Structure 1
Amino acid sequence: MASAAPTPSFKHLALDQHMLKIVVGSPRLRSFAVVSEPPCCTGGDAWRVVEDRDGVEVYWSGRKLFSMRIATWERGVEITHTLERDEHVYGLGEKYAHQDRRFKRFHFWNVDQTVHLPSGDPMYKSIPFYIVAKPGKVYGVFVDYPGYLYIDTGVEHLDRIVIRVGAGYAVLYVFSGENLYEILDAYTRLTGRPFMPPKWAVGYHQSRYSYASQDEVLRVAEEFRRRRIPCDAIWLDIDYMDGYRLFTWSRDRFPDPRGMIEKLHSMNMRVVTIVDVGIKEEKGYHAYDRGVELNAFLRTPDGELFRGGVWPGLCVFPDFLRSSGRRYWAQRLAEFMGVGVDGIWLDMNEPAIFYMEKPFRSMVAEVSKRLIENDVEGAGNHYFWRARHLIGTTSVGKGIGMVDIPAVHLDDDGGEVRHSEIHNAYPLLENEATKMGFEIARPGRRWFILTRSAYAGIQRLAAVWTGDNQSDWGHMAISIPMLLNLGLSGVPFAGADVGGFGDDVDPEMLVRWTQLGAFYPFFRNHSSKGTRRQEPWVFGEPWSSYVAEAIRLRYRLLPYIYSMFIEAHRSGKPVIRPLFAEFPQDEQSYVVEDEFLVGPSLLVAPVLTPGARARAVYLPQVRWLDLWSGEVLEPGWRLVEAPIDRVPLFLREDGAVVTTEPRSSATEPWGTVTIDVFVGRKACAVLYDDDGETADFEKGRFFEAKVCIERRGGDAVIRVEELHMGYEPGFSKVRIRLLGSPWVERVLLEGEELRVYRSGKAVVAELGIGRLTASQQG
């Protein structure tokens, strides 16, 4: 597909030791993804770029990464680079594909994708960042263009990646390092660190399309508390609105939203409301009138308001490129949140449009003309093969790739920018405006946004989920590589609808999916109208107890999971990780995709098929401890038991997890935390806590300590390192449980022997937080 047009200009800059910038042609617009580039140029001799008539060779620290060629295609720039036979490709954001994305081709153009199959591409999010890895080598590539992109990872050429950009220019960033985490650190330094969520957002969320009234919402919340099943938030889908008008409440079904939210807050539950992006075109409707007054909406090339049909009917759409458009949105949102709304759920923000007014009129006119001429076949062919794919932006297939939206933005200087040039960044700009709304409504507080559509950099603003999946075992299984690859795309706070959004869940599937969802970074049960309800108790016993216990497991692990979120915020490390992230020399770990790690230490092997009561598990490189049986297992493939009431869990040798007793909400103090540790030589755990609500942790108001347990003969020696003491943690006692450790004779803290007791196969020591922190001072 490359053409004979003149090759675009090319330049490169070694920004720092881990980041190389390549510019092809002359970029027309600013980057929306990049927060800050490193000051040029401190790359030193880490990078070497060799140009010749055949292309470019890129080296890092003396090792060749790839050879690259630059050409043109019919719509813009084409870039190809080599792949070695045994290299794997990961990342690329949200794609319905296996963990290794090699030998696939993908479109990047945000759409409302209802077909969750490999042919359903593109999808809701476009994150053109990928990682190439094999034992001993890893690098990343980010193609920073927010319009249409196509990336082929080995279909046209087995040994090359092909990148086609829908413009005459391209900006690429190449990242390299000694390991995967250095790549993600560099990428998230460039595009923004993942935001730190409030504690409640790390808990369990219950949703439904829709809870139809405030009375129903309160009944659901009260049932959670009556059954003592942890839950932190109830979610409201579009039926809370008045005729689907944004920033409104139905007076019939939700007559007292403030009172409802106050009642939920009294139960220590939060409320998250859906907010779409289409504003109903209706004079007298405040959001529309104010937007027209401020010229805050997208327009057509001839200056009219751009219109499209969505849930409320004919709608207009905010122009988030303009700072005045973002302020308009932020102010409307802040006013709406005044009744106490805690979180915002941005949906339909690709933007999803059922029909665009002008293309729809054109299609109707053409079909009508042919029908008048009695050309039924021509009318039908025009609609079926061409027009129906061009009038709306939903369910675009791989054979089409994109649907243009004939709208224009105005930048702050009054210049026109075609929507097609920034389409994929549209939801990113909406999320920036939404964050501004939180800052107006809740200054100094952490925000929580969930977004369906996204572009690179979204991790600094919002959590994501994988959209309208189905109650299907295959959809449950594919959620693992989808979420792992989102993490490898710099987006750690991600989840899939537990139980499935469409179709009807069965009891076993709900149990197994909740057991898996307990380890999703974002843990929400959500289902559609016309489907079976999915609250934990709907199937009765014994199923309701199994589901409830899976949710409680999430709350037991909150101290560990919350510490993974602060690590993600600081470094870009994913909360859940593929096996090869921690075991890069283990070749098998690059292809296992039905199990994963939470942080560095906890391996999760969920059951993904009906009727299974055992499953094969791959344990990489080191010894592992079965957390249910206490058995120590050697590395390699194992067949393990998986009864219906549990998910197989394994603790890495020289690893640790921090747990607590589950409470009804993630915001309740932990009281006692337990460090479960499997010591071979030395294992460490980080204890982290903050107020979980404000941004004061950025000012030093947090607690952090590192507790290490080292084996010295028959002694388990505890050492504590105070990393930061700027906050009084929500726990007063620390329990240390040495698992798989029959060698333990004594437990010592700074030379003093501690009183211990045995609990099953574990050796347990307990000490107060004061003694723990005082030990270092002593």
Structure 2
Amino acid sequence: MRSVALFGVLSTFIWLPDAIAVKSHDFKTCSQSGFCRRGRALAARAEETTSWNSPYSIDPSSLIFSPDEALVSAAVKSSLYPDIKFSLELRIHEDGVVRVLMDEIDGLKQRYNEAADWALVSDPRLSKTINWTTGKKDLRAVYGDKKDIELVVQYDPLRVTLLRNKKEQIVLNGRGLLHMEHFRTETAKETSEEVASEEGGEGQEVLQVENVRAWFEGDTEDAYWSESFSSWTDSKPKGPESLSLDITFPNHGHVYGIPQHATNLSLPSTTGESPSYSDPFRLYNADVFEYLASSPMSLYGSIPVMHAHSADSTVGLFNAVGSETWIDISYPSEKSTQTHWISESGIMDISLLPGPTPEDVFAQYARLTGTTALPPHWSLGYHQCRWNYVSSEDVRTVQKRFDEEDMPVDVFWLDIEYAQDHKYFIWEPKTFPDPVEMTNDVAANARKMVVIVDPHLKRTSDYPVYQEASDFGLLVKPNSGEGEYEGWCWSGSSSWIDHFNPASWDWWISKFKTTKLDSGFSWIQSTEDVHIWNDMNEPSIFNGPEITMQKDTIHYGGWEHRDIHNINGMLFHNNTAAAVRERGDIPKRPFVLTRSFFAGSQRISAMWTGDNLGTWEHMAVGIKMVLANNIAGMAFAGSDVGGFFGNPEPEMLIRWYQVGIFSPFFRAHAHIDTKRREPFLLDEPYKSIVRDLLRLRYTMLPIWYTAFRENSVTGLPIVRPHYVVFPKDSTGFDIDDQFFIGSSGILVKPVTEKEQTEVTVYLPEDQVYYDYFTQQIYRGTNKGKHITVPAELHQVPVFIRGGSILPTRERPRRSSPLMKYDPFTLRVALSKSGTARGELYLDDGITYSHQQGELVWREFAAEQPSRKTTRITNRDLASSKPDTAVDGVDLVKYDPKNAFAKDIAEVRVEKVVVLGLSSKPGSVKVDGKGTELRWEYIPGAAASEKKDGAAASVLIIKDPKVLVTEEWAIVIS
């Protein structure tokens, strides 16, 4: 949901329906941002000066090593400001990650240094095997299992380089753009004219330093103490405090990450020759109305993590900074990348992720900021939303229509109009007179409700949530530090809870209790079947600069909003999730959707790509944005099916559902001014096509849930671009319109262009791929291969990679919880060598009992012990891998006969489909049982054959009467 234009006084809002375009003038460009302007100007001057060296250096005599030498600190000085003190600290973690910190010491003020406290899941464990070598020019450490990683810290000028096998991977300050603007007073300025009055000697040297200072910082004070944008003036009582740093990847020609931006996965250039964009990529959480489908503009969330990739290795960096940040990217050659990071405030706190594989980088980042916690199983189903379902009866009618049309759905959503005068938690009695009964009616069909709770609180004494927050002093303060900050949002005059204040946490949790408190407000008109949508939490403020909060407002601890802006939304959804989890007697997994997010948000919430448009371009870029968020750890991601704005024609809506069913988060949503477009309203044949798509999503829920389990342990993305799966295949480094789902072997190429009837799909390897629906075989090559496949409106190109086994549930149900005891079908897609493998993870999908070992985790495998025999087996994985079962919890006491396993003990495999056998079997039996199974064989091509487009051979084994929770083997001979 997006803010409207604000006119007049009090709470009079006027919606202008013809204002359907991003208002670029509402948001700054780099040239309108003082600190970005200063950072770019420094880069331009350095580029023009071939002899330029950074003024920052290390005093070798100041080096201090910790007892285990994993931590070393040193004093840093600037030749231009010898009286200003800085410190550098280097920490090498157990997994090889290098954390580089730099701060101003004994300055006039303190720089914000708490961003990592919010982002990191815990304090990283330091290595115990580091040995430093101190030389005349640098400090070095060689480490790693193979002693192939080297960290070199050059003293003068300061330069930090990470190498692997003597090859530079990441370089900090290699271009000399490091600049930590030190604190100063506005009146303490020494002019160059005063210095020039001295003659010769020391005075002349000072004059030379002053000239270099002017060159380095600029010869004028550009927006040091205040800055204007539109009608706003941003006071800067601390003066200039930006941090500029160049980070180079000398041997990596592609970079990914830094969401959220509507652009290609492989990030385009912003400087250099023929840049794709004229402005840097911006990280500044913002409510951008109908954003462009290709732009470096900041959007709703910010994750300052970047991957750099080549065929030789993958590395990454995480920049723990919560202030506005601009990032320039250039590619001086096909094999190298230069980046320039410019942040408004904060310390330098950068973690270098050495890789060398994508899997390693994901694991290293996950150890820093955490992984996606296993979500409730039902949240992977279909979510139906619009702004707004207008009444309790409207919700009931929508549910009834889904059931009448045999369309599965798990969740119904309510936008802001459910709340009386937009006072969240308070139902509008005229339209929602029976919220508990309405929720119970939905829950009777094993479904859930999601209700919006935005961060703005209506400033009125008859709203108990606001009044309590005001009485307890829990609200953000204006720049004076006194009273309450006031802005305008849906509620009219509003204030915002300061979630950085620890006193707000338990108080916020208490608001979600579904039983009456001894004192204070609680949401008794709610149930545990209501989950939460946090929107507008950038925060969005209609009458604020750039539609957000003034930077000089004050948060807990005296920090300015400028210091923590990008972190703000994360604290809101984290505390909301804690509230939902703890509202009942038994903790249950919360579902919270957030629009604004930061590094670490993945530990608790899902996200969506915001207020997109119903256009083909937005459909296509939504795929790229979801992939980018998965690269940055925010895996539970999706974009609104159909587009938030507009009225997509049936063709576009069908194609968008084809995109949605293959997104981790799957929700249809629409603006209040759009026509109703629930799928049951479509005419035929469109309605039946969407019904089939919804059923396909539910059929594949075991695959999605298993992928979430893997992500919760390894940090590997749930949807994976080609470079992640095939890191050495350079042809795939730019591909972002097709992707793989987890480790399942499913390859998807959604159709995102109008009137397409066929598409080109890239196969990256010499392996067989099976069309999921027709079982046709396609074969790649060692150099990669493009194939053309049919893609009529009812078709979505989906392939099973040879060597995969897919567990699915094929029986249509109204919602996912009703599938709990349904049998499974196994699709065994043989590789060219006749083997296959797959996993299935199950738990109750609701509670945290899985962390105590209440789960089922199985491995299915197909092997060929002899040329004419194929053996399909099922074994317990949790017993063999107790330390990596779920959520990183050590399950050394795992019991295969745990309560959950007993609960589903009778769940069986009702069908096995084997693709690509070389010949018709003579016998199909369960090992140890002499009874021949019922089976059918359809002749076709074998997995070992190179017959593009030919139908594969299909063996269908009917009801082998084997159980999911028990070990068995089916022998095909």
Shift of 1:43: 6.4
Q: 1:417 aligns with which of 532, 535, 559?
A: 559
Correspondence for 1:623: 768
Q: 2:533 aligns with which of 345, 360, 365?
A: 345
Q: 2:401 aligns with which of 209, 217, 223?
A: 223
Partner Cα separation in structure 2 for residue 102 and residue 22 of structure 1: 27
Identity of aligned residues (%): 27
Q: 2:297 aligns with which of 83, 100, 121?
A: 121
1:29-428 matches, cutoff 5 A: 29-30=113-114, 31-42=117-128, 44=130, 45-46=143-144, 47-52=149-154, 53-54=156-157, 55-60=159-164, 62-69=166-173, 71-72=178-179, 75-84=241-250, 87-104=253-270, 105-117=280-292, 118-119=294-295, 121-154=297-330, 159-167=337-345, 169-302=347-480, 303-334=482-513, 335-336=522-523, 339-340=526-527, 341-356=529-544, 390=545, 392-393=546-547, 404-410=550-556, 415-428=557-570
Partner Cα separation in structure 2 for residue 633 and residue 59 of structure 1: 40
Q: Which moved more, 1:46-55 or 1:542-551?
A: 46-55
Q: Describe the SS at the equivalent of 1:126.
A: coil
Amino acid at match of 1:720: N
Partner Cα separation in structure 2 for residue 156 and residue 393 of structure 1: 36
Correspondence for 1:714: 868
Correspondence for 2:629: 486
Amino acid at match of 2:288: Q
- Contact 2:261-2:295 at 8 Å conserved across structures: no
Deviations 1:438-477 (A, max 9, x none): 1331332111100000010000010000000011011001
Amino acid at match of 1:336: W
Aligned CA distance change for structure 1 residues 220 and 424 (closer, same or farther; 3 Å): same
Q: 2:908 aligns with which of 713, 732, 736?
A: 732
Aligned CA distance change for structure 1 residues 771 and 604 (closer, same or farther; 3 Å): closer
Correspondence for 1:15: 93
Shift of 1:110: 0.8
Partner Cα separation in structure 2 for residue 512 and residue 174 of structure 1: 40
Partner Cα separation in structure 2 for residue 155 and residue 685 of structure 1: 40
Partner Cα separation in structure 1 for residue 307 and residue 967 of structure 2: 44
Amino acid at match of 2:618: H
Aligned CA distance change for structure 1 residues 429 and 771 (closer, same or farther; 3 Å): closer
Shift of 1:713: 1.1
Partner Cα separation in structure 2 for residue 71 and residue 337 of structure 1: 54
- Contact 1:319-1:326 at 8 Å conserved across structures: no
Correspondence for 1:375: none
Partner Cα separation in structure 2 for residue 771 and residue 126 of structure 1: 42
Correspondence for 1:700: 853
Partner Cα separation in structure 2 for residue 515 and residue 477 of structure 1: 12
- Contact 1:97-1:482 at 8 Å conserved across structures: yes
Does residue 528 in structure 1 map to residue 645 in structure 2?
Answer: no
Partner Cα separation in structure 2 for residue 85 and residue 50 of structure 1: 17
- Contact 1:631-1:740 at 8 Å conserved across structures: no
Partner Cα separation in structure 2 for residue 168 and residue 459 of structure 1: 23
Correspondence for 2:836: 683
Partner Cα separation in structure 1 for residue 461 and residue 539 of structure 2: 22
Aligned CA distance change for structure 1 residues 772 and 11 (closer, same or farther; 3 Å): closer
1:543-558 matches, cutoff 5 A: 543-558=686-701
Q: Describe the SS at the equivalent of 2:364.
A: helix
Aligned CA distance change for structure 1 residues 43 and 496 (closer, same or farther; 3 Å): farther
Question: Looking at CA atoms only, which structure, 1 or 2, has the larger radius of gyration?
Answer: 2
Bigger relative CO (Cα 8 Å, ≥ 6 apart): 1
Amino acid at match of 1:689: L
Shift of 1:670: 4.8
Partner Cα separation in structure 2 for residue 700 and residue 315 of structure 1: 46
In structure 2, list runs of 5 or more residues that go unmatched.
1-37, 43-54, 57-76, 79-85, 105-110, 131-142, 182-239, 271-279, 514-521, 879-895, 939-952
Q: Describe the SS at the equivalent of 2:309.
A: strand
- Contact 1:230-1:663 at 8 Å conserved across structures: yes
Shift of 1:155: 7.7
Q: Describe the SS at the equivalent of 1:252.
A: coil
Aligned CA distance change for structure 1 residues 625 and 771 (closer, same or farther; 3 Å): closer
Q: Which moved more, 1:124-133 or 1:31-40?
A: 31-40
In structure 1, list runs of 5 or more residues that go unmatched.
357-389, 395-402
Partner Cα separation in structure 2 for residue 251 and residue 771 of structure 1: 49
- Contact 1:18-1:183 at 8 Å conserved across structures: no
Shift of 1:293: 1.3
Aligned CA distance change for structure 1 residues 416 and 312 (closer, same or farther; 3 Å): same
Q: 2:790 aligns with which of 641, 650, 666?
A: 641
The two structures, once aligned, show a CA RMSD in angstroms of 2.3
Aligned CA distance change for structure 1 residues 85 and 51 (closer, same or farther; 3 Å): closer
Aligned CA distance change for structure 1 residues 533 and 43 (closer, same or farther; 3 Å): farther
Amino acid at match of 1:107: R
Deviations 1:488-523 (A, max 9, x none): 000110000001100111101111110110010000
Deviations 1:68-122 (A, max 9, x none): 2061166422221223475211111221110101414311111111142134711
Q: Which moved more, 1:48-57 or 1:529-538?
A: 48-57
Shift of 1:756: 5.0
Correspondence for 1:435: 577
Partner Cα separation in structure 1 for residue 920 and residue 729 of structure 2: 31
Partner Cα separation in structure 1 for residue 101 and residue 796 of structure 2: 48
Amino acid at match of 1:330: I
Deviations 1:693-751 (A, max 9, x none): 11101110001111110133121112332123332265322532111223463556557
Q: Which moved more, 1:596-605 or 1:655-664?
A: 655-664
Q: Describe the SS at the equivalent of 1:550.
A: helix
Shift of 1:429: 1.0
- Contact 2:300-2:595 at 8 Å conserved across structures: yes
Amino acid at match of 2:340: V
- Contact 1:575-1:599 at 8 Å conserved across structures: yes
- Contact 2:163-2:170 at 8 Å conserved across structures: yes
Q: Which moved more, 1:644-653 or 1:151-160?
A: 151-160
**Equivalent residues, number:** 732
Q: Describe the SS at the equivalent of 1:153.
A: strand
- Contact 2:401-2:680 at 8 Å conserved across structures: no
Amino acid at match of 1:433: N
Partner Cα separation in structure 2 for residue 40 and residue 120 of structure 1: 36
Partner Cα separation in structure 1 for residue 296 and residue 451 of structure 2: 28
Amino acid at match of 2:700: L
Q: Describe the SS at the equivalent of 1:768.
A: strand
Q: Which moved more, 1:416-425 or 1:661-670?
A: 661-670
Q: Describe the SS at the equivalent of 1:624.
A: strand
Q: Describe the SS at the equivalent of 2:602.
A: helix
Deviations 1:334-375 (A, max 9, x none): 33275224210000000000014xxxxxxxxxxxxxxxxxxx
Q: 1:655 aligns with which of 773, 794, 804?
A: 804
Partner Cα separation in structure 2 for residue 743 and residue 135 of structure 1: 39
Shift of 1:776: 8.0
Q: 1:455 aligns with which of 594, 598, 618?
A: 598
Partner Cα separation in structure 2 for residue 455 and residue 321 of structure 1: 14
Does residue 742 in structure 1 map to residue 918 in structure 2?
Answer: yes
Aligned CA distance change for structure 1 residues 68 and 749 (closer, same or farther; 3 Å): farther
With normalisation by structure 2, the TM-score equals: 0.72
Partner Cα separation in structure 2 for residue 539 and residue 186 of structure 1: 47
Partner Cα separation in structure 2 for residue 776 and residue 655 of structure 1: 17
Partner Cα separation in structure 2 for residue 150 and residue 743 of structure 1: 60
Aligned CA distance change for structure 1 residues 505 and 182 (closer, same or farther; 3 Å): same
